[in-house]
Structure 1
Amino acid sequence: MQLPVQRFRVTRADLIRYAGASGDFNPIHWSDRFAARVGLPGVIAHGMFTMALAGRAVAEWAGGADAVIEYSVRFARPVVVPDDDEGAEVEVTGVVKGRTDDGLTRIDVSAVCAGEKVLSQARALVRVRD
């Protein structure tokens, strides 16, 4: 079963707020000059922020954050966030892959930005509310 697509807009303002909340002020998340100097295509979103967006989709599909039992990802590519009003869009989809013996639901999650997969091996185990 395919789960509904969820889209998340990521702007530079979001990166600033996330940096403040997480304490991660690495200049690759706010300085185009620094990002270019280290070989990145531009300012990139924090990996954990990208993971959190996909986790938010999982929680919504499951009926709440407390329904998420396990969640894991690998980072495939960074989300490049341009310095404009549009930012970047991360599209999250999911496929139900089955149920465990104890009634938990397995979900394979996909997150894509600009046509590129940004998370790989993203999986969740959730307790779906009836």
Structure 2
Amino acid sequence: MITAAEVSVGDELPPITLRITRAHLVAYAGASLDFNPIHWNQRFAEGVGLPGVIAHGMLTMGMACRIVTEWAGDPAAVVEYGTRFGRPVPVPDDDEGAVVEVTAKVTKVLEDGTFKVNINASHDGKSVLGGASARVRLP
């Protein structure tokens, strides 16, 4: 577990690569009760103008936060997390899934001693989350 004394503004967190598969979409739909057909029906998704079945935005958001929880060593260290959904992540119907590259950087020490960490998540070189950041309390 990292401590506040070991962190400086400008520190980059170790990058992570996520794979989002159709199996993840099924599991997330069951847990969230979000059974919107854009997340499981290729024909429907394409019919409404999407490139195919897409990952749930909240699933992508949650998986991207792993970069912070793994770095901090404790999921409870994240006291605030927010983002906007920039573009969808199409998930192919294969065993590989969609690849999302996640990077993050410590950008500020806040008055209460927490750290602001900006998170970047991209698929095919394009950002999928906008303005993603977490506020982290470290021991």
TM-score by length of 2: 0.89
Mind listing any 5+ residue stretches in structure 2 that lack a counterpart? Answer: 1-10
CA contact (8 A) 2:83 2:132 kept: yes
Describe the SS at the equivalent of 2:101. strand
Moved more, 75-84 or 94-103: 94-103
Deviation at 1:101, TM superposition (A): 2.1
Matched residue pairs, number?
129
Partner of residue 112, structure 2: 102
Question: Quick check: 1:60 aligned with 2:60?
Answer: no
2:99 pairs with 1:82: no
CA distance in 1, matches of 2:37, 2:75: 31
Deviating above 2 A after TM superposition, structure 1's stretches of 4 or more consecutive aligned residues are: none
Q: Deviations over 1:27-85 (max 9, x none)?
A: 10011100010000010000000010112222122221110111100000011000111
Higher strand residue share: 1
Residue of structure 2 in register with 1:43 after alignment: 53
The amino acid across from 2:36 in the alignment is N
Q: Which runs of 5+ in 1 are unaligned?
A: none
Aligned position for 1:128: 138
Cα distance in 1 for partners of 2:31, 2:108 equals: 35
2:15 alignment counterpart: 5
The alignment status of 1:25 with 2:47, answered yes or no, reads: no
Cα distance in 2 for residues equivalent to 1:55 and 1:86:
21
Percent sequence identity is 57
